[in-house]
Structure 1
Amino acid sequence: MSKIEATEAVAQRIEYVAFSRLMPSPLNVRKKSTSGIEALAQTIHERGMIQNLVVHDMKGSGNASRLGVCAGQRRLAALDLLIEQGRITKDYQVPVLIVSEGEALAASLIENREREDMHIADECVAFRLLTEEGRSVAHIAALFKIPEVVVRRALKIANLAPALLDLLREDRLDFEQAKALVLADDHATQERVWHEAVNAWQRRPAELRAAITREEIDARDSALARFVGLDAYEAAGGRVRRDLFSADEHAGYIEDAELLHRLATERLIALSQTVAAEGWQWTECRTRYDAMEIMRHGRIASTTRKPTKKEESELAELSAARDAAQAELDAYYDDDSEPDETLQERLEGTATAATYAADQYAERFETFDPEAMKQAGAFVYLDDEGRVCIERGLVRREATPGAQASAPPVGSAMANAARAPKERPLHGEKLCRRLTAHRTAAVQIELAQQPGVALAVLMQRMIPVVFDDVYARSYIDHAVKIELHTSRDALVSNADDMAGSVAWKALEGERAKWARMLPRRAEELLPWLLEQGEDVTSNLFAFCVAATVDGISSADRPHAVNEVANTLAVDLSRYWKPTRGGYFAHVAKDRIAAVVSESVSPQVAGELRGMKKDDAAAAAELRMTDSGWLPEVLRNREVPERVTYGYREDADEENGADAGTEADELSETQAGSNEEDDEPH
């Protein structure tokens, strides 16, 4: 594009005027000093003025005959140099194109963009001057054949404080720093942030941006912002500090966090009411996923209904879209060409969205018993990407009747024992469950670090099932069957202080590590496992076995978990501390005094007896947190007595057939007694 094509009126003809009539125009957009003047002056002296200047009448200059040069600053400077050197005179005839003042800005800008690159500061100011003359962003963009967003960004830079613009021209402030500073619209804030950044690291663009937006929410990283949407937030009166220099549509900083949270909550409440209409007893909504809170709930059983033909078709389309998006992402990962972060981010976003859509659609096939739904509820919450997720079928623990043992047969030993007065145990059922939950977590984390022991523990569980003719009379009607469950939920529900436990933190760290490594789709699991080395599979195996260990008990009695704990030589004092919330608040004051007397001194115990219960519990924690003391439940490392189920040939050989028969009868009686006495795990 030439300057003549760019101006809006080019009917004027080229004229020749004396050099003495020329002067620099205040409308010339180039402010930074020019270079290469000597060489240009030599060329003009030898060949003359090949390219005309663009000028306009200088109104108010005191001399109507003077002309301001708005395009051709370097040539004017070269002519000045020739005058100084005496090589030309002031009546030297210069070719000029005379334009109006309105056209002068555009002509100057185009002229300078075509020739020696303008400094970014001068170009941005020129765009601003054009808007001040009444030119729209669209007009300027069309005039220079550039996108409108480029014009908007230039106008944003032009809004830098004058002092900072000067620093930009002098290259003492770079463009990336300028982009960060113009996030603030007022010049005072821009200058304050810049001058307060006295160290080099503080003047990094990210640090400058953080200083301006310290109290604001980055919309790109906020699940709430993605859920509500910037348009809805602004429609409600919220203000967004826009980042025009980001290609992300969510780029911006939300200034009213309270309004954003309120809008998100209102939408979630409306969604939860829709979920409640399904027949749930209660619904609650959360703006973020709280795994610990949800894990404290029980769950009712659900079934998966068969989809209709239409649903099958729709699900197939979603699954195909998911697979195609994942294949495209995999192809990008397999490509050895230069990484493209923008493309990668787009492909990952598409794959994640397609997977979410398919999973959400599949959830509609899960059904619950209407009667059971009347005792349960659902959580409606947002995930990290701002997507709505629903956890249905949850049962509040406090609303659920406590576990009750099945009524024993009339005349059984257990029934007779139930009628007899029972001695109050040292530790109640709830406290026993709390303590043994910590015992279980400790055993789990140590077992997870011993693949060999984990293998033996699992084989000990599997062998009686596989060799049922040797170890049991009953027959399991399956070729291979291993029923597994993890005790993760039970640990949290029985010990509300579990989250602070050393063992729990280590277990959750291991869980997160493996979760990051595992494939996301179940059908990919076996191929993935077959590709892994022995170190990966053995350690993953150990963690999985450890996660199934369940040693929670409602009474202080021998437990099978002790066999594993003893094998591993688990030191429970490493994982459990006698604290106020974890122990002392759950026992009587006399018990607190007795424990302190045993572990510290009778004198200190005497001081505690004169305190209120809460104060005594707090004082006991201060005295005993690092004492290594364990309650009797955790000191008990007894293993249940071995019971032989079924006929054993070795017993027959050793004791004779009669002795073997007696042993069988005794075993059956003991087995029945133990089955009634044991709690489900």
Structure 2
Amino acid sequence: MRKDVTNNVAKISSEIADEAKTQIAYVPYWRLCPSPLNVRKRRPTGIESLAETIDAKGVMQNLVAHELKGRTKVPKLGVCAGQRRLAALDLLCEQGRITRDYLVPVLTVSEGEALAASLIENREREAMHIADECVAFRLLTEEGKSVAHIAALFKVPDIAVRRALKIANLSPVLLDLLRDDRLDYEQAKVLVLADDHATQERVWNDAHNAWQQRPSELRAAITTAEIDARANALAKFVGLEAYEAAGGYIRRDLFSDDQNAGYIEDADLLHRLATDRLIELSQAVCAEGWAWVETRTRYEALEIMRHDRIPSTTRQPTRAEADELAALVAKRDAAYMELNAYYDEDGEPDEARQDRLDAAVTAATYAVDQYAERFESFDADDMKGAGVFVYLDDDGQVCIERGLVRRDSASGQPASAHAVHQTATRERTPKERPLHGEKLCKRLTAHRTAAVQIELARQPGVALAALIFRMIPVVFDEVYGHAYIDQAVRIDVHTTRDALVSNADDMAESVAWNALEGERSKWARMLPKRTEELLTWLLRQDSDVMSNLFAFCVAATVDGISPADRAHPVNELANTLEVDLTRYWKATRAGYFEHVPKDRIVTVVGETVSAQAAGELRGMKKGDAAAASERRMTDSGWLPEVLRNRDVPERIAYGRWDDDGETSDEAETETASVETGDSPSDGEAEETEAA
């Protein structure tokens, strides 16, 4: 049935086209009126912009009409195809911009052909391709038309015209691909970030695989050495206007609604501007009487954590200060409520709105923090031996850490004494030298712990189960009192953050650590600064906030650092979470190869890369071999045995319950064997003490 209709329409269309050569004529506007045979019944839209085009260029496409029966000497013509053009002419006539005698090109058809003609025009019409539309805009500019003139002519915003002109700047080869739909509009928007055609074509031709042709990958290829102004803290702090005023170049992204969208080319200039401004701001802090003040363009968590702190006192605010602080807190809470309301809404996500709400929350939280700092004070004598870090956070806001004291390096004596004791023990009990020493094991298992922590923080359900798993044997000791509790992963109310840093000095480069610190900063901004407000704040939060905050807190307490390569309880969590440690750890010179003998390096490279690569290392010095191994191994996915070991300790019970709740004789025998067994090794004792 549908095939027959299509064939009839095509036949009539051909007949009408043949007749059009002789029957198109110019008729006065007053003879035209809507036809009852027009198949499009919906009220036409966009009439104003079409009227402007007709006023400027005339009616460039003829209307199709048929004679209406009536008693008038000159019959009216009913427009069966061209309803929008007729409505635009009506508007121009009403406004006095054309007369009733204005001539309009019209193809006159019979009443029998009118319905088919209307169907043909409305059904077979194809929208103009975006590539052709953009090129047409460019041709108008080449004729001398301004962006404002084109925008007014077509009733579109100026930015729409500028974006079209940007797309028209694609190389002719890529424009042809866009017309043929072998390049989509999203990809084109990214490729025009490059102004020259050679770069555009090179980036597209280098994208051999489908994933390389994704807009995000194309953007990364074009802006590989540039800084995204929307996400960079220094760019937010300095401001794009100041950067450009200093002579910096910005690659603008016209297709983003963010006014700060663009890519900064001169990273050195940006860093210098940020440093100069931070030094200027730090002068006021110097005047407070501190022994030293240092500036940083980023938050150096490891550096700050290596300092002690002097005590401070917090005074009560005056009534006026309390009122002002209350107003800031109310504004912050309102911003959070609006953001939470957005998350509760159904429908498609609005990234622009979410970014705007996030920015409002960040600004309001920062305002509260800055205002609350004025109530904290330090003793003048303590300040003479302490200092301050002035740094930027991830949002480009200035933060000040006051009251920091550099630690005395002489504090390491107890550790040295402990090391002597360990040496003496080994002399008494000779053991086979392990593949990885205690220090390296602790380094590697610290990275393992960080990976487990960030994965656990993302799964509140597993975090809840892990904590309850640890608590139940303590609460129900009458049931589980015979179990060896240390077989469960250690989770206490203390953070392992310092332990991770102290055992792995390369932790700052860890993907897991940076993700954890990002989460920590996010929650720290959200939490109230006063302890007395904390419970009330928690009770006001919705279940999503509570579950995710709970998961992070549980994750931050997980302790999986071990001085030896052996089965560890943390592996039970790692296996449950299916943690892929290759995502979080890579074999680097500083992280692994500098801490093992050269023979070990050669063995690892030989097993992982090739015997030829291993042979090249044998003639090198240890440092050169370590550096060369990093280049060969970084992306290999190789893990040392410590991190490949996913074994969980064997579960040992001091007794076993029968169904009647009594301990069996067999259980007593088992208990005796455990109690009279060998004492823990030195490594085990150290691990227990460290935990």
Query: TM class by shorter-chain length?
Result: 0.5 to 0.7
How is 1:192-207 mapped onto 2 (pairs within 5 angstroms)? 192-207=202-217
Corresponding position: 1:520 with 2:527 = yes
In the TM superposition, what is the alpha-carbon distance from 1:128 to its structure 2 partner?
2.5
| Cα deviation digits, residues 213-245 of structure 1 (max 9, x gap) | 222112122112111111111111111111101
Q: Which residue does the alignment assign to 2:285?
A: 275
Q: Which residue does the alignment assign to 1:179?
A: 189
The AA in structure 2 aligned to 1:313 is D
2:497 and 2:556 in contact (8 A); partners too: no
Corresponding position: 1:427 with 2:437 = no
1:295 and 1:492 in contact (8 A); partners too: no
Corresponding position: 1:348 with 2:358 = yes
TM-score by length of 1: 0.53
1:487 and 1:550 in contact (8 A); partners too: no
Structure 1 residues 38, 343: CA separation in 2 closer, same or farther (over 3 Å shift)? Answer: farther
How is 1:534-553 mapped onto 2 (pairs within 5 angstroms)? none
| Cα deviation digits, residues 359-405 of structure 1 (max 9, x gap) | 22112211111111111111112211222111111111138x75999
Equivalent-residue separation in structure 2 for 1:74 and 1:138 (angstroms): 25
1:239 and 1:255 in contact (8 A); partners too: yes
Of 349-358 and 531-540, deviating more is 531-540
- The structure number with the bigger radius of gyration is 1
How is 1:433-448 mapped onto 2 (pairs within 5 angstroms)? none
Structure 1 residues 38, 270: CA separation in 2 closer, same or farther (over 3 Å shift)? Answer: farther
2:495 and 2:556 in contact (8 A); partners too: no
Equivalent-residue separation in structure 2 for 1:569 and 1:144 (angstroms): 65
2:226 and 2:263 in contact (8 A); partners too: yes
Equivalent-residue separation in structure 2 for 1:497 and 1:132 (angstroms): 62
1:491 and 1:498 in contact (8 A); partners too: no
Structure 1 residues 211, 48: CA separation in 2 closer, same or farther (over 3 Å shift)? Answer: same
* Identical counterparts, % of pairs: 52
In the TM superposition, what is the alpha-carbon distance from 1:510 to its structure 2 partner?
8.4
The AA in structure 1 aligned to 2:376 is E
Q: 2:246 aligns with which of 230, 236, 244?
A: 236
Corresponding position: 1:264 with 2:274 = yes
In the TM superposition, what is the alpha-carbon distance from 1:309 to its structure 2 partner?
3.1
Equivalent-residue separation in structure 2 for 1:309 and 1:459 (angstroms): 51
Structure 1 residues 346, 526: CA separation in 2 closer, same or farther (over 3 Å shift)? Answer: closer
Q: 1:255 aligns with which of 216, 240, 265?
A: 265
Q: What is the DSSP-based 3-state SS (H/G/I as helix, E as strand, rest coil) of the residue aligned with 2:137? A: helix
Equivalent-residue separation in structure 2 for 1:95 and 1:237 (angstroms): 57
1:296 and 1:492 in contact (8 A); partners too: no
1:451 and 1:538 in contact (8 A); partners too: no
Q: Which residue does the alignment assign to 1:188?
A: 198
The AA in structure 2 aligned to 1:304 is T
Equivalent-residue separation in structure 1 for 2:515 and 2:351 (angstroms): 29
* Structure 2, gaps ≥5 residues long: 1-12, 30-55, 64-101, 106-124, 426-437, 454-462, 478-491, 529-533, 563-567, 572-588, 596-621, 627-639, 646-678
In the TM superposition, what is the alpha-carbon distance from 1:172 to its structure 2 partner?
3.6
The AA in structure 2 aligned to 1:258 is D
Structure 1 residues 546, 189: CA separation in 2 closer, same or farther (over 3 Å shift)? Answer: closer
The AA in structure 2 aligned to 1:288 is R
Q: Which residue does the alignment assign to 1:380?
A: 390
* Structure 1, gaps ≥5 residues long: 1-35, 53-68, 77-93, 98-114, 406-422, 461-483, 552-566, 571-579, 587-613, 619-623, 641-680
How is 1:248-397 mapped onto 2 (pairs within 5 angstroms)? 248-397=258-407
2:26 and 2:104 in contact (8 A); partners too: no
In the TM superposition, what is the alpha-carbon distance from 1:323 to its structure 2 partner?
1.6
In the TM superposition, what is the alpha-carbon distance from 1:438 to its structure 2 partner?
6.2
The AA in structure 1 aligned to 2:195 is D
Equivalent-residue separation in structure 1 for 2:188 and 2:557 (angstroms): 56
Equivalent-residue separation in structure 2 for 1:174 and 1:133 (angstroms): 28
2:27 and 2:104 in contact (8 A); partners too: no
The AA in structure 2 aligned to 1:196 is D
How is 1:98-117 mapped onto 2 (pairs within 5 angstroms)? 117=127
Equivalent-residue separation in structure 1 for 2:193 and 2:391 (angstroms): 32
Structure 1 residues 532, 299: CA separation in 2 closer, same or farther (over 3 Å shift)? Answer: same
Structure 1 residues 534, 524: CA separation in 2 closer, same or farther (over 3 Å shift)? Answer: closer
1:454 and 1:545 in contact (8 A); partners too: no
Q: 1:144 aligns with which of 144, 150, 154?
A: 154
Of 449-458 and 214-223, deviating more is 449-458
Q: What is the DSSP-based 3-state SS (H/G/I as helix, E as strand, rest coil) of the residue aligned with 1:241? A: strand
1:183 and 1:241 in contact (8 A); partners too: yes
Of 135-144 and 533-542, deviating more is 533-542
Q: 2:135 aligns with which of 125, 139, 147?
A: 125
2:495 and 2:557 in contact (8 A); partners too: no
Q: What is the DSSP-based 3-state SS (H/G/I as helix, E as strand, rest coil) of the residue aligned with 1:380? A: strand
Task: Count residues in correspondence.
Answer: 456
1:295 and 1:489 in contact (8 A); partners too: no
The AA in structure 2 aligned to 1:520 is L
Taking only aligned residues, the RMSD between alpha carbons, in angstroms, comes to 5.8
Q: What is the DSSP-based 3-state SS (H/G/I as helix, E as strand, rest coil) of the residue aligned with 2:139? A: helix
The AA in structure 2 aligned to 1:325 is A
1:529 and 1:537 in contact (8 A); partners too: no
